[in-house]
Amino acid sequence: MQAISVDDKSKRLILFSNEPDPRVAALIQGDIQTTMPDTNVLVTRPTVYDLGALIRTLFTDAASAIFSFEQFNTFMAELNAVPESERQKFITEGNLFDKFFMVGRMAKAVQHIPLPALTHAGALLQQASLINWSQVLETLKQSSGAKQLVGSISLAELYEFDSTAIDRTYGVCPVPLYQLEEKDWDLFLEGRRIDEMQEKLKSLNIFQYFFPPPDQLALAVAERGITKREEITEVVASAPAQGHPYGVNELIPTTNDIKDILDQLSESSFVSEMDHTVKLTKNGATSRLKIKSTPRESAVSKLINRFKLTVRLSTKDLWPR
């Protein structure tokens, strides 16, 4: 573990795993939860490397995610032609700082958080394996004997790679440390301005994993295929007992009554309902699209997985032995 936090008020044990594999982090959560049935065990997994996130800052879509050696050679030639005293200005005006800010943030994360170097370097290599290396070798072969490399390499697969998808599936909260700026590190390391820290965690959709807004939770459960009103109510109502006390609603006026939440979501055109079956409307789908790939989604998976497990166990009693 990188760190362990005890929340006596909510009877929660929060583990910060240094595992590079979210599946292992999820297994750890299960093992410890079994030994501490009266405590809700939550697992987060801080990460410092994400090549996919880096590539997405450089290109607008997967189709355009192509590294061109010709363009790189042209840029380096232009940079070398600039007098050394003016290179800083050249780089700034070329928006290189904006494009490569993620590299600096990853370096800062490594500096501040001493995660096991070898294991996380292995995770980095796994991500790098998504690069078309046969294409790289072919480019090198074609450039043999030339003064400069020519050709291009597709980074589309790496662009589309979601390094936290498995975390969200298994209910582990990913903490992308590479999204923190230097001022954020100062804020958290100081540890005094609680309100500001909470706001930063909310902007990263991490705070909502620990305190999920019940209206967004109901919307997410319906999108995930649990569409019966009574089942949505059961899943959302189970959140506090499973270590996820409610946060503040984001879509509708504050209320913790699940029936009222569903009614208000319907009145606000986020969901429609026929014969007690709840479905997302266009507005609901748009709202979900903004947050469905963020750390908060892990709480939804955790609650739904527990609900489905409970249903499977209870249906066994229906069959004769």
pLDDT digits (tens, 9 = 90+) for 174-190: 999 989 988 999 999 99
> Does residue 133 sit within a domain?
yes
> Does residue 315 sit within a domain?
yes
* Per-residue pLDDT at 214: 96
DSSP per position, 99-136 = HTHHHHHHHHHHHHS---HHHHHHHHHHHHTTS-HHHH
> Does residue 297 sit within a domain?
yes
Task: List the structure tokens of 8.
Answer: 């006596």
- Tell which of 120, 144, 159 closes a domain: 159
* Per-residue pLDDT at 319: 54
Domain that holds residue 263: 211-321
The segments of the chain whose pLDDT lies below 50 read: none
Task: List the structure tokens of 111.
Answer: 């500096």
3-state class (DSSP) for residue 253? coil
* Per-residue pLDDT at 308: 85
Q: Which of 153, 160, 149 is nearest to 70 (CA)?
A: 149
> Does residue 42 sit within a domain?
no
* Per-residue pLDDT at 167: 94
How many distinct structural domains can be found in the chain? 2
* Per-residue pLDDT at 18: 86
Longest CA–CA separation in the chain, Å: 84
22 vs 34: CA distance, rounded Å: 19
* Per-residue pLDDT at 58: 83
To the nearest 10°, the Cα dihedral for 273, 274, 277, 280?
A: -40
39: exposed, middle or buried (Cβ count in 10 Å: 0-12, 13-18, 19+): middle
* 320, 215: one domain: yes
* 154, 229: one domain: no
Residue found by looking up tokens 């936290």 in the block:
164
* Per-residue pLDDT at 78: 72
